[in-house]
Structure 1
Amino acid sequence: MAHHEQQNTDKTDAEIVDRVWELAEKIDFCMFVTWDGERQQARPLSARVRRDEHAIYFLVSSTGHKNAQVEQFPVVNLAFADNAGMNYVSLSGQAEISNDRSKIADLWSKFDKAWWDDETDPDIRLITVRPERAELWDSPGKLIAFTAMLTAAVTGAKPDFGDNATVRI
């Protein structure tokens, strides 16, 4: 069940949650943000969004700092940006790293050949993120948003940048 923490929208919680999942799937790449105990680190990763499993999956190399960071500090943030449409989603939740070979094979796509020969490569690991909170900035469109900024600059009025809401998912 979704729960508003703050909102600037006329959408229902269910509509916001639907839009969060829809945008995450459409945008694909996100900045995957971890914590190492001292600072945050972000890197771009391709997201395999599976709403029916309440999970977002990532195929990653078995080496790399993010794996140790996920194991030590499992709360991560996923920042999705559709700059052309001015739509943004920030998700946070628990991440887990595994060597689930059947799930890796299930998620494998031809685009992964850029990093590995095939889904049986022993270097591949799976990161599963279970989203708990989401924040949505859903613009009515770039042209409208630009016009709103221009109007605000001329009149001093606060621009309307569309919907913004935080929900638990």
Structure 2
Amino acid sequence: MTKRREQETDLTPTEATDRVWELAKQIDICMFVTWDGEYNRARPLSARVQRDENAIYFLVNNDGAKNKQLSKYPKVTLAWSDSSHYKYVTISGSAAVTNDRQKITELWEKTDGAWWENADDPEIRLITVKPDEGELWDSPGLVVATAKMVFAAVTGAKPEVGDNAKVDL
């Protein structure tokens, strides 16, 4: 874990890494971005963030276009947004689609019943993302960030509205 580029943060690389994982888990739904050879394609998916396994999991349908895209272009970007609190995270890495029935059963949540009958549904597949790098934008919240932006506008100073850090994962 090392600093990758200029950052606007007092966080150590370890603290920034911890915060990337924490925010990804807290926010849950992310935009899962793939490449189809011509365009980036994004869709919202529920992320099962498992830092101890250095993995982020997604339950998906077997026939999804993203599965075909990943077989040819496995690099993905995941983007989480909590805009009401000015907290944002991206994680990039490699993804693979499998039919790991044991892991699918382990990850199954009651809300998955909206999409499939149960964890044994033969149409469910597992996407596993192994992160390479992450970036966060983490502010102290709407009220504080707004006050700092107003102060900056009045004084002409650059607003300090939170942390921005890029780290290897």
User: 2:13 corresponds to which residue?
Assistant: 13
Q: Determine what percentage of the aligned residue pairs are the same residue.
A: 58
Structure 2: gaps (5+ residues): none
Match of 2:81 in 1: 81
- Worse overlay, 148-157 or 65-74: 148-157
- Deviation string 1:72-111 (CA, Å, 9 cap, x unpaired) is 1000000011112211101000000000000000000000
| 1:30-52, Cα deviation, whole Å (9 max, x unpaired) | 00000011110110000000000
Which amino acid letter does the alignment assign opposite residue 78 of structure 1? L
C-alpha distance in 2 between matches for 1:107 and 1:165: 30
Q: What's 1:59 paired with? A: 59
Superposition TM-score, scaled by structure 1 size: 0.97
TM-score of the superposition, structure 2-length normalised?
Answer: 0.97
What are the equivalent positions in structure 2 for 1:1-169 lying under 5 Å apart? 1-169=1-169
Deviation at 1:16, TM superposition (A): 0.5
* 4+ residue runs over 6 A deviation: none
The C-alpha deviation readout for 1:111-143, integer Å capped at 9, x for no partner, is: 000000000000000000001110110101111
Look up the SS of the partner of 1:11 in the other structure.
coil
How many residue pairs end up in the alignment?
169
Mapped contact 1:4–1:13 kept (Cα < 8 A): no
- Tell me the distance in 2 between the aligned counterparts of 1:56 and 1:167: 17
Unaligned runs of 5+ in 1: none
Q: How big is the shift at 1:155?
A: 2.2
Within 2, Cα distance between the matches of 1:6 and 1:45? Answer: 30
Distance (Å, rounded) in 2 between the aligned partners of 1:28 and 1:16: 18
